[in-house]
Structure 1
Amino acid sequence: MSKGTLFDKVWDSHTVGTLPSGQTQLFIGLHLIHEVTSPQAFAMLRERNLKVLFPIRTVATVDHIVPTENQARPFVDTLAEEMMQALEQNCKENNITFYNIGCGSQGIVHVIAPEQGLTQPGMTIACGDSHTSTHGAFGAIAFGIGTSQVRDVLASQTLALSKLKVRKIEVNGTLKPGVYAKDVILHVIRTLGVKGGVGYAYEFAGSTFEQMSMEERMTVCNMSIEGGARCGYINPDQVTYEYLKGRDFAPKDADWDKAVAWWESIKSDADAEYDDVVTFDAAEIPPTVTWGITPGQGIGVNQAVPTPDELPADDRTLAEEAYRYMDLAPGQLIQGTKVDVCFIGSCTNGRISDLREAAKIAQGHHVAEGIKAFVVPGSERVKKQAEAEGLDKIFVEAGFEWREAGCSMCLAMNPDKLEGRQISASSSNRNFKGRQGSSSGRTLLMSPAMVAAAALKGEVFDVRELL
């Protein structure tokens, strides 16, 4: 195995050739598809009379358009029903494994692949979804791709890509109580900016990530794309192997030992060279909330919305736009900001550990009057596990709605939407204008525990006061 970073090793081992453009033709080990970005790709194949080259390397689920309250077919939304039927038909015609609603394993694409052991170290993974970087938590190189690239992977199992630089983001120390993986990645993006990672893969390293569970690592890698990075990853270790062992698609028996030996060999070498290194102290990271219209516009829960003169000159125009859109004044404390809707879920924070942390905050309390609060498990398996642990009862007794698995309000391509100027405390990943279903709706990103605290208080609240 060549010396260098995990990124270099995985890239080199999946390189088919160099194209005339200078780009690498990269073999893709696992292709994940869903109902939104695949219909056009399959149509393009049909137009060219092409087949799916390796159906066994493609796995499908339905997540973006799925209603989380009433899942009766046909869906009330005719466009959603059409997309659903197209995916069912395309998977059937091409012999692709499809995790449909009610099979017990349906859910958000970036939740179901890890929980089934489809995602493994050293893989190249692609999906027509921005947050495919999630899978890098396992030491995979995972890219979100566009529809024409979905076509390319279906037809050739390869992608034309330019090799990235690698930035090492090192966080050391122990996070303080009330500070979670979501706060870490929001803090990193706040510091480096939403364009700071353009042209880079982010390698997350240091004792803070080593102490994190796999689900926490997935939260961090999930939002790499929000910092401009094409992908983010963490070197595999014992935590990774313990998570994977025994899962549906994990190697078994003697193959397991071989796999672990291979996974160990692809880790970044101690003397690997990076294009850039940035370090953070975990003890300095507070519970973080976004105040603006990009994930980089974040502050500690006890801090004030920055004034223009506190910001770099390049950031001031966007800040002025954010003040107007969010209806927040420079110098205003973020804590105490009233909210209307509280959403716990998404591919960032819809896993069982996220629900456990939120339930700890909700237990024995009640959602504030006039607040709509709901919890959406990331998959049918997560839902089943949460119900076995009684988390659903804790949430329902506290006044939260308990839903079926899906993407829900994260991007609101389903009935879960903000209305008008409503403001949402959200555990999702994007706070762009109109992102959660209303062209004038507003989103404050935070950890699931912070969302639960906001639901109980009816406003942004420091979760540390409830621990």
Structure 2
Amino acid sequence: MTAEPRTLLDKVWDAHVMATRPDGQALLAIDRHLLHEGSFHAFGMLDHAGRAVRRPDLTFAVADHYVPSRDRGAPIPDPEIATMVSGLAGNAGRHGIRHFGLEDPGQGIVHVIAPEQGLTLPGLTVVCGDSHTSTHGAFGALGFGIGATEVAHVLATQALWQRRPKSLRVTIDGRLGPHVAAKDVVLAIIAALGAGGAVGHVLEYAGSAIRGLSMEGRLTICNMSIEAGARAGMIAPDDTTFAFLEGRPFAPRGDAFARAVAAWRALPTDDGARFDREVVLEAGAIAPTVTWGTSPETAVPVTAAVPDPSAEADGTKAGQMRAMLDYMGLAPGTPLEAVAIDRVFIGSCTNSRIEDLRAAAGVLRGRRAAVPGLVVPGSGPVRRQAEAEGLDAVFRDAGLEWGEPGCSMCVGINGDLVPAGERCASTTNRNFPGRQGPNARTHLMSPAMAAAAALTGRLTDIRRLGTP
């Protein structure tokens, strides 16, 4: 009998189901458990129950959310943050967990270092107490964020009860236009789906435009799946995936790598497999994109104008738009390219990899920024590579600050803040009120677009700058 065609999600899910309850919940085996400083709650639960970590060899800890971007060699001035960072090190040490601490050359943002270390592999299940664990789906893994109680459960059992999500395939065929980056693509997808458009689903991204992306671009796409409400995002592994992984510290080596690749080639969705929903976009219709409101779904081409709520027929949505415009200090009909910014931030688990920094530096090289800004690499290896290529000098010569690896100004919990009322061109993934600091105003965009905004002091279509 011919087997029924299966999706990538089907294959990964089915391979990890250990048991199924009458209510349909499945007990999934977890291959990688990633931790950051916020895991202290879960370790407290573990200690209270008198339990040990079930599989410390599959558990990896990294300090990233709260760590400072400056003066890394000095003691952390905030005692609460210092305690969280030292507590992670202590918990990792007690349980024999590999810890990427501040002195570790591999330290960085958890969703940057796991792929570059070869911890994220096709077909694995990956969880972390952070919503942007969807990033790891770029390798054909099933990665999703979990809460503190679930973190404790995985620590104790290396398994997790989950309800099987629905599937939604987003297909983008065609060729992307000049200066259109992966960030523009995912913002266009979120705008098309809506912030809640993929709730209850795992997104699979497919099509020639997706296959043409580098691994860095695919990581950006999957990273922001959660911003459309999805449980996770996935891209089928291919030769681009395998080339990226070969030789990584934790990836299989030699004959084991060849055998792994042979198995990974069976993961892509079978012809004829059924999805619960399908969405199709045309690559050529995607332009350099920015957000105007306080949700990633408010993404529009940078050449557009601020929308007018009075033109919205849905009264509830019109009210939401008015609230967004009030917070953002924008008037309907204002051309986005007329909107002045106060600073830029280039970094985060969405856009802090070497390809992102090269794109921004390519815009800034030999030029001077009109506004201040901060550039933070996603990991120690990215930082060293950028410095070896002279990218840090490009940023400094342009008048921007060069920081040390961490989440930094993506989220206002580590001292890196956008001052109240200021407007920031940011390569991050969220723009809700207060995300980058109380009353901060955030416009999401690609690294190259953020660099263009830095040069002009306003939202700018990079295609007007004549960059390479």
TM-score by length of 1: 0.98
Give distance in 2, aligned partners of 1:185 and 1:65: 27
Q: Which runs of structure 2 are paired with 1:233-382 in the superposition (5 Å)?
A: 233-311=234-312, 313=314, 314-368=316-370, 371-382=371-382
Spell out structure 1 runs of 4+ moving beyond 3 A: 309-312
Q: CA deviation at 1:310?
A: 4.2
1:249 CA displacement: 1.1
Contact kept, 8 Å, 2:69 with 2:406, in 1: the verdict is yes
Match of 2:435 in 1: 435
Deviation of residue 91 (structure 1)?
0.2
Distance 2:313 2:400 in 1: 40
1:319-354 deviation per Cα after TM superposition (whole angstroms, max 9, x unaligned):
111011001112111112111110000000000000
- Whole-Å separation in 2 of the counterparts to 1:79 and 1:306: 42
* Residue identity opposite 1:328 in structure 2: L
CA distance in 1, matches of 2:313, 2:355: 37
By how many angstroms is 1:195 displaced?
0.1
Contact 1:3/1:9 (CA < 8 Å) preserved in 2? no
**Structure 2 CA distance, aligned partners of 1:230 and 1:455?**
34
Cα distance, 1:126 vs structure 2: 0.1
Identify if the C-alpha distance between structure 1 residues 342 and 48 changes in structure 2 by more than 3 Å, giving closer, same or farther.
Answer: same
Matched with 1:13 is 15
Task: Give the aligned partner of residue 213 of structure 2.
Answer: 212
- Partner of residue 397, structure 1: 397
User: How far has the Cα of 1:415 moved from its partner?
Assistant: 1.3
Task: Write the distance in 1 (CA, Å) between the matches of 2:103 and 2:354.
Answer: 19
Q: Deviation digits for residues 414-445 of structure 1, max 9, x if unmatched?
A: 111011111110000000000002x2111000
Separation (CA, whole Å) in 1 of partners of 2:313 and 2:449 = 28
User: How many Å apart are 1:309 and its aligned residue?
Assistant: 4.5
Q: Which amino acid aligns with 1:70?
A: D
Q: Deviations over 1:288-337 (max 9, x none)?
A: 10000001011110001111244461522211110110011121111121
List per-residue Cα deviations over 1:135-155 (Å, max 9, x = no partner). 000000001111111101101
Deviation string, structure 1 residues 255-293 (Cα, Å, up to 9, x no partner): 112101111112110111111111011110011100000
Contact kept? 2:30, 2:160, Cα under 8 Å: yes
Alpha-carbon distance in structure 1 between the residues aligned to 2:304 and 2:80: 43
Counterparts of 1:458 and 1:63 in 2: how far apart (Å)? 29
Q: TM-score, normalised by structure 2?
A: 0.97
Question: How far apart, CA to CA, are the structure 2 residues paired with 1:258 and 1:66?
Answer: 39
Q: Tell me which residue corresponds to 1:461.
A: 460
- Deviation of 1:2 after TM superposition, in Å, equals 6.7
Determine the C-alpha separation between the residues in 2 that align with 1:275 and 1:22: 18
Deviation at 1:20, TM superposition (A): 4.5
What is the RMSD computed on CA atoms of the aligned residues? 1.1
**Corresponding residue SS for 1:265:** coil
How many angstroms apart in 2 are the aligned matches of 1:184 and 1:18? Answer: 37
SS in structure 2 at match of 1:349: coil
SS at match of 2:167: strand
| Residue of structure 1 in register with 2:182 after alignment | 181
**What residue number does 2:446 align with?**
447
* Residue ranges of structure 1 left out of the alignment (5+ in a row): none
Could you tell me whether the CA contact under 8 Å between 2:5 and 2:271 is conserved in 1? Answer: no
Measure the CA separation in 2 of the matches of 1:390 and 1:158: 44
SS at match of 1:166: strand
Whole-angstrom CA distance in 1 between matches of 2:413 and 2:174: 39
Provide the aligned length of Structure 1 versus Structure 2. 463
> How far apart in 1 are the matches of 2:138 and 2:209?
14
